[in-house]
Chains A and B, each alone.
Chain A
Amino acid sequence: MVNSAKMERKSFMFFVLTIVMASLIMGINLKENGIVIERGKHFPIVREPLTGKYNISINNAGIEIVLSRDLANEYEGKFLAVYAYKSNDDLFVILKMVINGKIQISAKEEASFEVKLRNGKVESVTKAGKDVSFYSILKYAKEHNLNYGLQRCLLGKQCAKICPVSAIAEFVADNSQQGRGRIIPRINSASCIKCGLCINRCPTNLIVEK
């Protein structure tokens, strides 16, 4: 009886010791991965739209987007987002890898996300419903003169998450003639401390240093 109580106490102590060690190591790990914030050195700007740097063609088999040589060189083997509006406040996005300077979307492929807008600002990004063919949405957008195209923003909001002063609080539709409704982060230059973390974190180099 006494022996079993001792054993239980021993294993409990072992468990507590392991947790303490875990906390210590986690602390060291966090310290090693700690991010150094350099204020006032890196001024972030959103890059120009991709309009004019690609050509979209639609046929019965699907969608083919041929990228210009510069764009293909920059994004070969990387991801870009193709978007198409279903209405003025509702767009669908699919993330695709650039392979051999092209993006190909078959007629059956489902959209990755549905983005709802309110007053030009992104209100929600949700997983697109099943059986939502991106091909049919892009075709609809083309037939109804709604915006569609290629954009850099992958909608993961990594820049907003890493910003230490929440200077990227919203994502908006760029409704300029060149922007053609692409989604971009809005950087509040008044509160931005120019630390450059968003520049480092953006996976597609949408945000770059001025």
Chain B
Amino acid sequence: MVAAAIMSSMIITSFSSGHPWAITCYQCKACSLRCPLGYDVSMYVSAALTNNPDLYMNAKNLQLPLKVAYETDPNMLVEIDGKLLTAKEAYNKYNSSTVVWVRRLRVKDAAKFDPLDGNCETLCPINLKITNIIRDLKDDGKFG
């Protein structure tokens, strides 16, 4: 009964996000291997599954001007001179035009900066349309 309830709630949230196929993802993370930005791409699918674009995901190769990072999300985790700090802390210490490495950001913000190249999809063993989620979030950061 509990399992059915959990399954049902996951199905309901994935329906409400508009990407019910997200439930078929088994988190093999093959998509993440190919992402040129070093995103943990499976988090896009997790966000669709839970209908929560505010989940945080890791990134390795995304660079942004500090001002853009701060204005996007003050809690975004950035790296400057080998130090990890939030965008808010960095904004108070460094010049706002400094280009920083982004290490952790919300799924909706990741979608905003995503190049939509679609390299992540090419390795998915079950051909999930991950770029559909990204397109959905790109404009307003919301599902649907």
Contacts from A to B (Cβ < 8 Å): 7, 11-12, 14-15, 18-19, 21-22, 25-26, 29, 33, 78-79, 94-97, 99-100, 104, 109, 112-113, 125, 127, 154-158, 161, 203-204
Contact = CB atoms under 8 A, between A and B. Distances in A.
Nearest to A14: B4
Contacts of A99: 63-65, 99
B85 interface: no
Interface stretch (B30-38, B73-81, B88-96): B30-38
B65 A127 contact: no
Interface size class of B (residues with CB under 8 A): 20 to 34
28 contacts: A7-B1, A11-B1, A12-B4, A15-B4, A18-B7, A21-B15, A25-B15, A26-B20, A33-B132, A79-B115, A79-B117, A95-B115, A96-B63, A99-B63, A99-B64, A100-B65, A100-B97, A109-B61, A127-B34, A154-B36, A155-B117, A156-B116, A156-B118, A158-B117, A158-B118, A203-B115, A203-B116, A204-B115
A112 B36 contact: yes
Nearest to A17: B8
Contact of A11 (B4, B20, B62, B97): B4
Contacts of A21: 15
Nearest to B144: A29
A26 B18 CA distance: 8
B8 A29 contact: no
Interface of B: 1, 4, 7-8, 11-12, 15, 18-21, 23, 33-34, 36-37, 61-65, 97, 99, 113, 115-119, 121-122, 131-132
A15 B63 contact: no
A113 to B, nearest CB: 7
B119 A156 contact: yes
B115 A127 contact: no
B115 A154 contact: yes
A113 B122 CA distance: 13
A15 B12 CA distance: 12
A96 B38 CA distance: 12
A25 B20 contact: yes
B119 to A, nearest CB: 5
B33 A158 contact: no
Contacts of A26: 20-21
Contacts of A127: 33-34
Contacts of B131: 158
B88 to A, nearest CB: 20
A97 B36 CA distance: 11
Given A11-B4, A104-B99, A22 B20 contact: yes
Q: Count chain A CB atoms within 10 A of each CB in B61, B64, B119 and give the residue with the most.
A: B119
B122 A157 contact: yes
Given A22-B20, A127-B33, A157-B122, A203 B8 contact: no
Contacts of A19: 11
B117 A95 contact: yes
Closest 6 pairs between A and B when the two form their complex, measured CB to CB: A156-B118, A156-B117, A79-B115, A154-B117, A112-B36, A203-B116
Nearest to B97: A100
